[in-house]
Amino acid sequence: MAAIIQVKPITDVPQHLSASAQPQDPAFFQNPYPFYAQQHAGHPAFFWKEYGHWCFSDFRSVSALLRDKRFGREILHVATREEIGLPEPKPHVADFDLTEKHSLLNLEPPDHTRLRTLVNRAFVSRQVEQLRPRIRQLANEMIDRFEGEESVDLIKAFAAPIPAIVIAEMIGLSAEMAPQLLNWSNRMVTMYMYNVSRETELDANQAAADFMAYLRSVIAERRKAPREDLLSHMLTTDRDGDVLSDEEVMSTAILLLNAGHEATVHTTGNGVKSILESGLDPQSLFATPEQAEKTVEECLRFDAPLHLFTRYALMDTEVDGISLRKGDVIGLMLGAANRDPARFANAGTFDPFRTDGANVSFGAGIHFCIGAPLARIELQESMGVLFQRLPKLKIVETPRYGNVYHFHGLERLMVGWR
- Residue 114 has a pLDDT of 85
Query: Mean pLDDT, the chain, as a whole number?
Result: 92
- Residue 122 has a pLDDT of 76
Alpha-carbon gap, residue 383 to 275, rounded angstroms: 10
159 within domain boundaries: yes
pLDDT tens digit string along 248-258? 889 988 988 88
pLDDT tens digit string along 397-412? 999 999 888 889 999 9
Contact assessment for residue 177 and residue 286, using Cβ atoms and an 8 Å cutoff: no
- Residue 117 has a pLDDT of 84
CATH number for 191: 1.10.630.10
pLDDT tens digit string along 229-239? 889 888 887 66
- Residue 188 has a pLDDT of 92
Question: Domain tally for the chain?
Answer: 1
CA distances from 282 to 128, 150, 163, 292 (A): 25, 20, 21, 10
pLDDT tens digit string along 11-20? 778 888 999 9
Least confident of 1-10, 83-92, 151-160: 1-10
10 within domain boundaries: no
Q: State the residue range of the domain holding 83.
A: 15-416
Please, which residues have CB within 8 angstroms of residue 14's CB and are 6 or more apart in sequence? Answer: none
328 within domain boundaries: yes
Alpha-carbon gap, residue 71 to 83, rounded angstroms: 17
Taking residues 337-347, what's their average pLDDT?
Answer: 98
Q: How confident is the model at residue 4 (pLDDT cuts 50, 70, 90)?
A: low
230 within domain boundaries: yes
pLDDT tens digit string along 357-383? 999 999 999 999 988 999 999 999 999
Q: How confident is the model at residue 2 (pLDDT cuts 50, 70, 90)?
A: very low
Percent of the chain's residues with pLDDT above 70:
97
146 within domain boundaries: yes
- Residue 125, sorted as left (phi over 0), alpha (psi -120 to 50) or beta, turns out to be alpha
9 within domain boundaries: no
